[in-house]
Structure 1
Amino acid sequence: MPPTYGHGALPQPGQQQNGAPLTPTAMGRWSVASCQLPPVDKIKALHVYDFDNTLFKTPLPNQKLWNGHTIGLLSNPDAFANGGWWHDARILEATGEGIAREEPRAWDGWWNEKIVELVELSLKQKDALTVLLTGRAESGFGELVKRIVASRGLDFDMVSLKPSVGPNKERFDNTMHFKQVFLRNLMETYRDAEEIRIYEDRPKHAQGFRAFLQEYNKRLQAAAAAPGASAWRAPIFAEVVQVAELSTNLNPVVEIAEIQKLINHHNEVVTNKVAGPRRERLVIKKTVFFTGYMIDPSDTKQLLTLADIPEGLPDQELKYHANNIMICPRPCPASILDKVGGMGSKMKWEVTGTASFDNSVWAACLRPVPSSARFHTDNPSPLVVLALRKGTRPQDAGKIKNWQPVPPDKAFIFETTVGEKVLLRIEAEDPSENAYESLFPSKNHKRKHAGDDSPGRGNDRSGGHANQRRDFYQQNNNNNNNNNGGGRGGRGGFGNFRGGGGFRGGGKGNRGGPRGGHGRGGGRGGRGGGHYRSLDDVGTREFSGTSNVVYDDNPGGGQWTPSFQGNGGGNNNRPNAAGGGGGPGGGPENLQNYY
């Protein structure tokens, strides 16, 4: 079935949609750049470059900060009064250390250098017209995008963003429709051009461009073959180059602060009842999956050397842990939190023995240092699960009875930090909700039976804490340490931020909600993590670098923190190809100060 194209996208007999002749002057109205376009007979090649994640490493919502539903919400322009992540220029301005610092240094580190080299070659080619084409809104981003490319000395012939109404009163259904109409005008204005090359990172858009250009040439050939007729221009050699996306994130503290500003503006509009669709006030909440003594990655590596895993066991059969000693599943009751010294408190442990249960769960037993130190763990005796065989449960480590002493050359002491495994989420404000209830996603997911998640019933036979423990282990069953690679990603959840269709909004190419939807883990308040199966899969290969841009106007894991410290790994404020983002300079910050 041939692709469908919006009005004005396919060949016209040498004129614009309104009947006016196609000229460089008329074409210049599509650009926010001030330079005069070259004469038609001087151009033999058209080079068109996408902006977001093709030329520029545009920051994406951090999947280590937000749950899957919120990732999709941020991409939905209808969810916020000011349009969300891709429609609020402050998000792009916050890239790196902010526009005030980044502009003088030309956003160093935030470019796809291979594409920059190609742009520079295009600019040197005298018979080539070099175009920057983006679906970002001209009204909100025109000046900012010009400043970004100018800082790098990229003097494009045209810098074209999507206008609310085209130069000839065109209305665009979506970004792909806008780009098709633009390209048609470009190719028929520069009718002597023999080739067009388009550089695009999104597979769905690349596919859409190829189909469009193939259909365009087919119609030109049909017009030329008609008796007594001639096409306005000859068919054009077309190449669409799909660029590998290099994803990045903002500094986590900056990202949360900017999202809070976005929400504040939204809530102000809602409170003042400004004309428009009816909306609810929004608020940032956190979902706590468990509280534990968090282990530093370097110590995790050393702990994993203690696991006596049989040779020949395939890596895909194993899940590596060794990253926490669980205090309690879900939010920690105040009494227990006081006992362990509060969030961020330090605790030292000595490894005393190792063992396995049924050759499927490997663990190390521990003792506090000093031995008189107060502590609390979910197991009767403190232990850390090192690795799991696929299909087994971490709680089976509690069945181990015979521990083998650690050889003196392998015995060591390591330090932990009390923290939580958390993700942030954006939900409608609910004045009737108490602090504990706010820790669980939406009213529809809150517990329906007393005791399921009640913090005051840790050992109650009704199963409150026991159910929490079971749900924690279900969540953590796919845990894999980011430094050791094991395990597959969770189902559903963060998925892919670029969606289907031909534009940025919903299933990949239509940049909208996450491809995996809400995953399979959903359920009531304390149960499962509705957007993924493994907390530590967030930020691993399957979840890193796959979120993409959504800026259509009408589109058709987890981070642990001692009280939300934002000092994540990676370069401070610089792009991170793994999608982790850098931490704030000068040490830890309490992210709760920003929302």
Structure 2
Amino acid sequence: MVSNQATRADHGYTITALGRWSILDKKLPPVDAITAVHVYDFDNTLFKTPLPNSKLWTTPTTGQLMSPDIFVNGGWWHDSRILSATGEGVEQEEKRAWNGWWNDKIVELVQLSMQQDDALTILLTGRSEKGFSQLIKRIVASKGLEFDMIGLKPVVGPNHERFQSTMNFKQIFLKSVLGTYTSATSMRIYEDRPKHVDGFRDFFADYNKNIVSRGQNPITGHVIPVAELSTTLDPVVEVAEVQHLINFHNNSIAKERKGGRNARLAIKKAVFFTSYMIQPTDSKRLISLLNNMAPETKDLKNLANTILITARSCPQHILDKIGGLNSKMKWEVTDIGNFQSTLWAARVRPVPANAIYHTDNQVPSVVLGLRRGARPADVNKIRQWQPIPANQSIVFETTVGEKVMLRIDREDQDGEDEQQDRLLPHKGSKRKFPNDDDRQSRHHGRDHGRDHGNGGRDYHNSSQARGGGGDNRGRGGYRGGNASRGNRGGRGGFKGSGRGGKGAHGYRSLDDVDTRESSQSGYGPAAVSYDDNSFPALPQGGPQFQQPLPPPPPYGQPFLIPIPGQWPPPAGNNNQGRPSGGPGPGPDLQNFY
């Protein structure tokens, strides 16, 4: 016993030294009283931590928010106000112990650990000690959870350690625990991140190899993967909190910041396409046609939610011709068809027959569903349409609107179209379909490449419905198709932001710099809709932008966009209530990493 104590002391492994790693002012149990160590991760293991809403922000912007390299204060994982905004905010949620925001199975395991006298129970997270100590203690205490230690990452360790990453910090922390509690024969670690699960398993292998070489018995290490149960904030709250991040960033660089992060930032909108948007109830009716056409088709993705007008923002002169945003129009299904059993569509015509409409596709059509590998633009490849019986005809109403997501970009960045070039494939990705040359010969006598007062586009009425028409018929219709494909580069919208937007999902945990493995609803009366399966809908009541974003408010004031009927006005200049939120079902972010 004396020999073990001397060895621990020689290496600095004492209870007093170990206590310096914990933010709790709590005496640790004696060394010989502990035979097991139970370690719990916080974010998305014990607590359902909100992540950026991938249905609200473009993919590069999600990466920017997660990256530690974009904002002066580090972004999503480094500003405690993001975590504080969970639900209805700290003051309200603390009263009800953040009910609904816990992983109940892990909570039960913590409670069992608390009851086990020979177990050292630890909450270990890579969140910063300086920024999150008080908040995490309040969250844990509200649930009645008692840990022997709560470890958060300090700027410098008790022995002047510097940390390259969250995993590096956690491994140094655990080495101190095991070096102190040498009577412990086992350690369990509960972790949601696959990469960290592998990292802890490597840690146990290396640690055991080292102590066995010194004639000591190996420790039994168990790393238990936990299914991530993350959620999102209320969309209104999320935009407000991100605006706070931007305000702080802009104010900081205006005072003193120089170098790579000296660009002023702003929230802007990205319009992916303009279309005649179909209500969910009518989408279900249209999908019934698809079920009759392809009843047993596997990996089929249902759409039936739009009739394309134009890719990206619709020019104003076209909007004027078709009645503008929010205008209503009725359509009747006339034919059905498919392309190589990968895409199914319904051809439609306006009601009444002489109504003016516009579409970049050859003919107005609704993509009902497609299989993996197919693109909505493939609807222009359908050559044979089958008329539907009169008794199966469907008449439905649409609303002209835009598919919009939000992005963060430099405040001085030029117009929206230039930024959209980074988000959507278009000019450089045109692909000719069979008989393209034949289609280009049907331009109603217009000269190619010449603007005749309407931007080179035709306006359609029922006499053109069957034959197609329109100067853009040779463009392949749905330019950009699946707009999300344009985000692969993940450049983040401005210089220096690419590190946060790599790949389809840019999850960044705390200040790690390594990347990780990211229904038709949302129809509303506003001109902007989030209704599209390629870019799933926001929950009802989410922000819908009809106008450019207003200038940012002074720092400390919530960011609200004054759209009547959408967001409640502030209760007062200084004491306004926080918009409510909750875990709810939330969007599916299981593959967000």
**What secondary structure is seen at the aligned counterpart in 2 of 1:27?**
helix
Q: Check conservation: 2:362, 2:477, Cα contact below 8 A.
A: no
Q: Check conservation: 1:206, 1:240, Cα contact below 8 A.
A: yes
Question: How far does residue 286 in structure 1 lie from its aligned partner after superposition?
Answer: 2.4
The 1:575–1:443 alpha-carbon spacing in structure 2 relative to 1, beyond 3 Å, is closer
Question: How far does residue 196 in structure 1 lie from its aligned partner after superposition?
Answer: 0.9
Q: What's 2:556 paired with?
A: none
CA distance in 2, matches of 1:273, 1:452: 51
Q: What's 1:184 paired with?
A: 175
The one-letter amino acid of 1:107's match is W
The one-letter amino acid of 1:441's match is R
Gaps of 5+ in 2: 430-448, 459-468, 487-501, 519-530, 548-562, 568-579
Q: 1:418 and 2:426 equivalent?
A: no
The 1:308–1:214 alpha-carbon spacing in structure 2 relative to 1, beyond 3 Å, is closer
Question: How far does residue 401 in structure 1 lie from its aligned partner after superposition?
Answer: 6.0
Structure 1 segment 199-218 matched on structure 2, within 5 A: 199-218=190-209
Question: How far does residue 336 in structure 1 lie from its aligned partner after superposition?
Answer: 2.6
Candidates 505, 521, 536, aligned match of 1:495? 505
Normalized against structure 1, the TM-score is what? 0.73
Q: Check conservation: 1:452, 1:464, Cα contact below 8 A.
A: no
**What secondary structure is seen at the aligned counterpart in 2 of 1:97?**
coil
Query: After alignment, is 328-337 or 203-212 more displaced?
Result: 328-337
The one-letter amino acid of 2:13's match is L
The 1:90–1:66 alpha-carbon spacing in structure 2 relative to 1, beyond 3 Å, is same
The 1:279–1:176 alpha-carbon spacing in structure 2 relative to 1, beyond 3 Å, is same
Candidates 323, 345, 348, aligned match of 1:363? 345
Q: Check conservation: 1:71, 1:494, Cα contact below 8 A.
A: no
Question: How far does residue 291 in structure 1 lie from its aligned partner after superposition?
Answer: 0.6
Q: What's 1:520 paired with?
A: none
Structure 1 segment 148-163 matched on structure 2, within 5 A: 148-163=139-154
1:350-391, Cα deviation, whole Å (9 max, x unpaired): 534332156645333445566776654445764322234665
How many residues matched? 499
Q: Check conservation: 1:290, 1:331, Cα contact below 8 A.
A: yes
CA distance in 2, matches of 1:136, 1:26: 21
The 1:213–1:381 alpha-carbon spacing in structure 2 relative to 1, beyond 3 Å, is closer
The one-letter amino acid of 1:355's match is I
Question: How far does residue 580 in structure 1 lie from its aligned partner after superposition?
Answer: 7.2
CA distance in 1, matches of 2:364, 2:478: 18
The 1:265–1:445 alpha-carbon spacing in structure 2 relative to 1, beyond 3 Å, is farther
Q: Check conservation: 1:350, 1:366, Cα contact below 8 A.
A: yes
CA distance in 1, matches of 2:19, 2:61: 39
Q: What's 2:21 paired with?
A: 30
Q: What's 1:327 paired with?
A: 309
CA distance in 1, matches of 2:244, 2:297: 48
Structure 1 segment 450-465 matched on structure 2, within 5 A: 457-459=455-457
Q: 1:404 and 2:388 equivalent?
A: yes
Candidates 198, 221, 226, aligned match of 1:243? 226
Question: How far does residue 126 in structure 1 lie from its aligned partner after superposition?
Answer: 1.4
CA distance in 1, matches of 2:154, 2:484: 47
The 1:358–1:427 alpha-carbon spacing in structure 2 relative to 1, beyond 3 Å, is closer
**What secondary structure is seen at the aligned counterpart in 2 of 1:122?**
helix
Q: Check conservation: 1:354, 1:406, Cα contact below 8 A.
A: no
Q: What's 2:107 paired with?
A: 116
**What secondary structure is seen at the aligned counterpart in 1 of 2:195?**
helix
The one-letter amino acid of 2:73's match is N
CA distance in 2, matches of 1:137, 1:12: 32
**What secondary structure is seen at the aligned counterpart in 2 of 1:30?**
coil
**What secondary structure is seen at the aligned counterpart in 2 of 1:265?**
helix
1:503-523, Cα deviation, whole Å (9 max, x unpaired): 833232xxxxxx69xxxxxxx
Q: What's 2:328 paired with?
A: 347
Q: 1:576 and 2:567 equivalent?
A: no
Q: Check conservation: 2:333, 2:393, Cα contact below 8 A.
A: yes
The 1:208–1:148 alpha-carbon spacing in structure 2 relative to 1, beyond 3 Å, is same
Q: What's 2:521 paired with?
A: none
Q: 1:504 and 2:512 equivalent?
A: yes
The 1:420–1:563 alpha-carbon spacing in structure 2 relative to 1, beyond 3 Å, is same
Question: How far does residue 303 in structure 1 lie from its aligned partner after superposition?
Answer: 0.7
1:167-202, Cα deviation, whole Å (9 max, x unpaired): 121111211111111111111211112211110111
CA distance in 1, matches of 2:544, 2:456: 23
CA distance in 2, matches of 1:442, 1:351: 33
Candidates 533, 537, 558, aligned match of 1:536? 533
Q: What's 1:593 paired with?
A: none
CA distance in 1, matches of 2:167, 2:199: 8
Q: Check conservation: 1:133, 1:160, Cα contact below 8 A.
A: yes
Candidates 278, 287, 298, aligned match of 1:304? 287
Q: 1:171 and 2:162 equivalent?
A: yes
Structure 1 segment 45-64 matched on structure 2, within 5 A: 45-64=36-55
Normalized against structure 2, the TM-score is what? 0.73
Query: After alignment, is 152-161 or 436-445 more displaced?
Result: 436-445
Structure 1 segment 100-139 matched on structure 2, within 5 A: 100-139=91-130
The one-letter amino acid of 1:422's match is V
CA distance in 2, matches of 1:190, 1:239: 17
Q: Give RMSD over aligned pairs.
A: 4.2
Candidates 285, 303, 313, aligned match of 2:268? 285
Q: Check conservation: 1:333, 1:456, Cα contact below 8 A.
A: no
Identity of paired residues, percent? 47
CA distance in 1, matches of 2:416, 2:204: 56
